[in-house]
Structures are given as structure tokens and as C-alpha cells.
Amino acid sequence: MRSFRDTWLIYQRSLTLSLRNPVWVIMGIGQPILYLLLFGPLLTNIAKLPGFPPGGAFNVFVPGILVMTALFGSGYVGFSLCDEMREGVVERMRVTPMSRVAMLLGRSLRDVTLLEGQALILVILAIPFGLEINLGGVVVAFALLALVGLMMSPVSYTLALILKSEDSLAPVVNGVAVPLLLLSGVMLPMSFAPDWLQTVAKFNPLYHAVAAIRELFNGSYGDTEILIGVVILAVLAVVTISFGARSFSRAAA
């Protein structure tokens, strides 16, 4: 009960602070919009090639862009934690009886909220380009995207607690995020990849996230990719949250 209350308190506080100075939120959506405008149109011709997955170019590309937004958006949330640590906020809260899970979960849920807002803007922007959606699929896809955020944010916060400074955090996050991005089939579908690369990609949870969201956008609710994506992401989110919460209770920040 205490954890729920504390999570809600930290969620409210972090969301208020993020919206008061929304520069990160705006920067976080700027890049995916550029991809949508300047890279998306390249795919319209490629979509005619054999081996391109079903659905139009944007139905293949937008799910990837959403996962990319989650990956980089949540990947860098640790930056704000470094800032709070430097000002002693984390230490101050660790000397209260508050729940340690709440310190992590309140912030992560704030990140998910902002991510969903960004995703909504991207989907609406993509419709004039030819994105075809069905409402039910998008709702489930957004739930799946929330799982991606809940899996990624704790990783970034845990790294921030260990590394303590933005300067050390940035290369580590990049080092993790870029291979995950390349192996997820965001830019081009993995169906174009040679066999070995497809095999490697199957070990990337984000590959399954992208695949599941594509099926949902196309309305293929029965596809096993959806179930695989949900299970993998849910399990990993539980793992990263438990690990992250432990870091908060131990942090020598």
C-alpha cells in the first residue's frame, strides 16, 4: 500500500517537473519526426520489392519509429537522475521511510506517460503519409510500447546510479542503444537480412516489440508474434524493475 502511494507521489512530482521544463520531451520527439518526414518516404519504393513485409511502407516504418522513440527516450532518462543526484535529491529521499520501488517506478511511469504522448503525436502525423490503422490494434500497441518503456527506463536509472554523471552515462547508453536499434529492424525490415543476422536479431527483445506492433497495426490480432512480444517484454520489465529498485536501495549516490 505504501509503495502505491509513494509511487503516485513520485509520479506526480516527476511529471510536474518534466512538464515545467519540457525541453527533453520536445527534443525526444524531434528526431523521430525527422525520420518520419525525411526517411519514411524512401521506403515507399522499397516496399514494392519482394520480401517486404505486408502492409504499406508506413505501416512497417511507424511501429519501428515508435520503438526507436521508446529506446532513445527511455535510454536517456538517467540523465535527469544524474541531475537530481548532484543536487542531493536522491540521497534526501533515501533517508525517508519511503518505498525504494516507488523511487524507480514513479519516475519510470512518468517516462511511459511522456512516451505515450510522443507516440500519439507520431501516429497522428503519420496518417497523412499513408499509415493505415485500426483503433483496437493501436490501443494494444500502445500498451506494448509502455512495456518497452518500463523495461528500458530502469536500465537507464540503474546505470545512472552506478555511473553518477551524464558524461559517463552517454557513451554507455549509446553503446547499448545503437546495436539494439540496428538489430530491431526499425530502419529496414529484418526480412532483407542474411540468415545469420536474422538469427542474432531474434535475441533482441526490441525486434519482437517491433514485429508485434506491426501485426497490431495491421489488425492481425491472432499472430503469435504479438504473444511472443508481450511475454518477452513483460518478463524483462519485471526483471529490470526489480534490479533497478535494488539499486535505489543500495545506491551510495
Neighbours of 114 (CB within 10 A): 23
Min separation Cβ 85 and another protein, Å? 8
State the Cα–Cα distance between residues 244 and 239, nearest whole angstrom: 9
When the beta carbons of 135 and 252 are compared against another protein, the nearer one is 252
Q: Single out the residue of 15, 25, 33, 89 in contact with another protein (rule: CB under 8 A).
A: 89
Query: What residues have CB less than 8 Å from 232, skipping those under 6 apart?
Result: 205, 208
Interface with another protein, residue 202, by CB under 8 A: no
- Select from 29-37, 54-62, 94-102, 225-233 the region that touches another protein (CB under 8 A): 94-102
Interface with another protein, residue 26, by CB under 8 A: no
- Select from 8-16, 65-73, 144-152, 217-225 the region that touches another protein (CB under 8 A): 8-16
Min separation Cβ 203 and another protein, Å? 34
- φ/ψ region of 185 (left if φ > 0, alpha if ψ in -120 to 50, else beta) reads left
State the Cα–Cα distance between residues 64 and 187, nearest whole angstrom: 7
- Select from 83-91, 117-125, 139-147, 198-206 the region that touches another protein (CB under 8 A): 83-91
User: Which phi and psi angles does 90 have, rounded to 5°?
Assistant: -65, -45
